A and B are shown apart, each in its own frame.
Chain A
């Protein structure tokens, strides 16, 4: 084998946690771990990747890589694969990562496992566990190729500190401005003090039982006390109380935090698909028959307008 390459994710110097998760996971496989960082002025990040086990850091620096763009990144990766023959290249299953991986896989006419939640790698072959039907079933898929290609779901692999050399090397730059065919006109970050839904250790969600923005405010107070991400069921998104990017479930996001708190959510099958793999689940709902209680470690039959503020007071003590 010639190494497991991890294409790390960073924006303007902020390294996403999934990068460390993937490096830590790759370390367990035993092959040499190479963190691949694209960007401008990113060499200084090498020490960060080394802390989690990157034996080498491939620093791909050029003006053309300042922001993610499909054409230049894929052209560069094709050239590097030819030069270094990695055994596997793993990407994060993110907005940019899945675009990069899918486009690369097609260029190489190879298979690709996207959104993997478990990884087994050997020479020229990978077995990846994927959740299908938004988590209602699990599929193990075999991907062969040189390299083996996959995207990894953020939040499923554990971050394990473990220092490695992190020796920097800089490949020849093969991509040019002529490879760029998209223009990013703007990127406006979502202004939120809360963590990203798919990366949060705690998620607090509000559903139909919130009855409106006032109910959502109560749920937000609990979320902020727990340093949690805010989420919602389809009912609260369709009612316009929360933006679609906060929807948990089959046509929204699949989350797997340490703790999921469902407030006023009955637990339709589409919603359960998006959160059932959480380690701990708590639910507050007025309906004792609500399906959410079937998956809850701790269920409270009660009115969230009463229970949640009291819970907040108790937790503050």
Chain B
């Protein structure tokens, strides 16, 4: 069984966001694999270690910089990579079209991806890829079992846990609580340098959504700060909650 994992390169989640010339400034920002995609990479590697998958291919669309994200996934244990050169400003539609075309050429049995990217927060691309490829999709998974040509997954649904079964091939997208991604070992990092990565051009796809304005949220101001005996502080905090916030107390 061939597994293909889509990864997006994103800003480190510790990055401070600034806007320069109407764009999000990327100077000096540390780039990482989107944490949700990193979990998908780990999930794919674990399927190979269990003997369920025979090959794990990593796919990224982006600039040359995204090669680092692919190399990291290869160092974790993926077998080979594909980088599709695409403008990082492409919207969800354009990215899905480009990724789906590359996936189709690989014809995998299972497509894994993070359910959301930590940068745009859109949660659209895996679902769109599934639609383009005419495949079923299970979202926000926290576990997977593969047997008899079917994938059965637990998902973190709103207000509960849902177990869903689909026929393979399928697109499955991960929640961060699925697993704990490994750190690449020194040996893995060395091996990754020799693993093949193909670079291909993106198919034509125009973005549909236009960003018309970027801004930073109004900085929240610090208010009252009390450094006093706990009973004094607790009484004042209680008063503030009741009189300013007007909380309701459940008796």
Contact = CB atoms under 8 A, between A and B. Distances in A.
B157 interface: yes
B124 A98 contact: yes
B153 to A, nearest CB: 10
A259 B123 contact: no
Nearest to B176: A251
A227 B248 contact: yes
Given A130-B121, A250-B13, A185 B140 contact: no
A268 B14 CA distance: 8
Interface in A111-135: 111-115, 127, 130-135
A311 B240 CA distance: 11
Interface in A4-47: 11, 16
Contact of B163 (A96, A186, A196, A303): A186
A111 B226 contact: no
Contacts of B212: 127, 140-142
A299 interface: yes
Interface residues of A, number: 92
A56 B193 CA distance: 61
Interface in B128-171: 128, 130-132, 136-140, 142, 152, 155-167
B11 A299 contact: no
Mostly, the A contact residues are mixed
B244 to A, nearest CB: 7
A315 B249 contact: yes
Contact of B210 (A99, A102, A142, A282): A142
Contacts of A174: none
B57 to A, nearest CB: 23
B224 interface: yes
B211 interface: yes
A16 B160 CA distance: 14
Nearest to B220: A295
Interface string B212-251: 1111110010111111101101111111111011011111
Interface string B20-59: 0000100000000001100000000000000000000000
A214 B242 CA distance: 26
Given A113-B209, A134-B121, A137-B217, A316 B249 contact: yes
Nearest to A294: B222
Contact of A181 (B11, B167, B214, B223): B167
B227 A288 contact: yes
A138 B222 contact: no
B234 A310 contact: yes
Contact of A106 (B13, B128, B207): B128
A95 interface: yes
Contacts of B142: 244
B19 interface: yes
A98 B11 CA distance: 24
What 10 pairs between A and B have smallest CB-CB spacing? Answer: A111-B208, A310-B234, A314-B238, A244-B177, A102-B127, A106-B131, A111-B209, A297-B223, A140-B213, A301-B227
Interface of B: 11, 13-17, 19, 24, 35-36, 91-93, 96, 118-124, 127-128, 130-132, 136-140, 142, 152, 155-167, 175-177, 207-217, 220, 222-228, 230-231, 233-242, 244-245, 247-251
Given A111-B208, A112-B124, 11 more contacts: A115-B121, A115-B122, A115-B123, A131-B217, A138-B217, A143-B209, A184-B162, A298-B240, A301-B233, A307-B230, A315-B241
